Amino acid sequence: MPELPLNQDNSLLSHRINAAFRRLGWIAFWIQIVLAFIPIGVLLFALLVRHTAPEGIGTILELALAYGCLLFLAFSILWSFRYIKLGQQLTSPSRVPSEDRVKQTLWIGIVVNSGGMIVSVLVAMAAVGTMLFRVLTLPPGAMPMFDQRQGLSPTVLNSSQWIVPLDVVWLQALINTIAAQLVGIIVSLFLLYRVNQGGTNRRK
């Protein structure tokens, strides 16, 4: 059975859908770009300047998952731009994709963002658990924070018990990553709702 073009017989509804794809695509794209600044900056600083991972990343698996978070986030940003291009295609009758193709594109965005969010949550749980373990193993009255800029040499704590400022920034980076992927999920679900709504109206 041949695939039907998306709302080609209803110009008003088609205009609303392509406008939604372009507008929400740009919104998601720029929000994710802004939110991705801290995660990318933290890993680049930690790996290129300090030549080590943030202290919250304690194992090779956690480091691999951290890189996975960035890959998911990068794909999500590119996919938001894909929504913009898809909205532009919907303005031309000769380039209107099928409804099934549009839904498939949206479901890919939902699945990728959901997978990235799950990975980010796992890394965040591991990082918070590591920091919590350090705090719980401190002797009474000890300070868990260590300011590297002052060049202090603590006598009570060893290096495995330090919580450096980069650890806190790393947690903020994970929160930003989760928020960016949540934006991608919300936008994809809303666009999928609009497409399904348009298909229902066309069949009436």
**78-125 pLDDT tens trace:** 999 999 998 888 877 777 778 888 899 999 999 999 999 998 898 888
Q: 3-class DSSP state for residue 136?
A: helix
The Cα-based distances of 22 to 73, 89, 119, 128 in angstroms read 20, 10, 28, 38
Contact 131, 7 (CB under 8 A): no
Task: Please choose, from the candidates 39, 175, 34, 185, the residue with its C-alpha nearest in 3D space to the C-alpha of residue 115.
Answer: 185
pLDDT > 50? residue 8? no
Q: How far is CA 170 from CA 165, 177, 185, in A?
A: 9, 11, 23
The pLDDT value given to residue 61: 66
- Mean of per-residue pLDDT scores for the chain: 76
Q: Which residues of 115-128 are buried (b: 16+ CB within 10 A; e: fewer)?
A: ebbebbebbbebbe
Distance (Å, rounded) from C-alpha 42 to C-alpha 103? Answer: 35
Spatial CB neighbours of 47, under 8 Å, sequence gap ≥ 6: 53
Mean pLDDT of 61-65: 70
**Residue 190 pLDDT > 90, yes or no?**
yes
Contact 184, 31 (CB under 8 A): no
pLDDT at 145 exceeding the cut of 80:
no
SS3 147: coil
pTM across the whole model: 0.76
Q: 53: which residues sit within 8 A by CB, 6+ positions away?
A: 46, 47, 63, 66
The string of DSSP letters for 4-18 reads: PBTTTT-HHHHHHHH
Per-residue pLDDT, 158: 52
Phi, psi of 163 (to 5 degrees): -120, 105
Question: Which DSSP letter does residue 59 get?
Answer: S
Q: Which of 82-96, 155-169, 186-200 has the lowest mean pLDDT?
A: 155-169
pLDDT of residue 136 exceeding 60, the answer is yes
Residue 160 to residues 18, 119, 134, Cα–Cα distance (Å): 54, 25, 8
Alpha-carbon distances, residue 113 vs 1, 67, 74, 171 (angstroms): 31, 15, 10, 19
Among 18-32, 101-115, 128-142, 175-189, the minimum mean pLDDT is found in 128-142
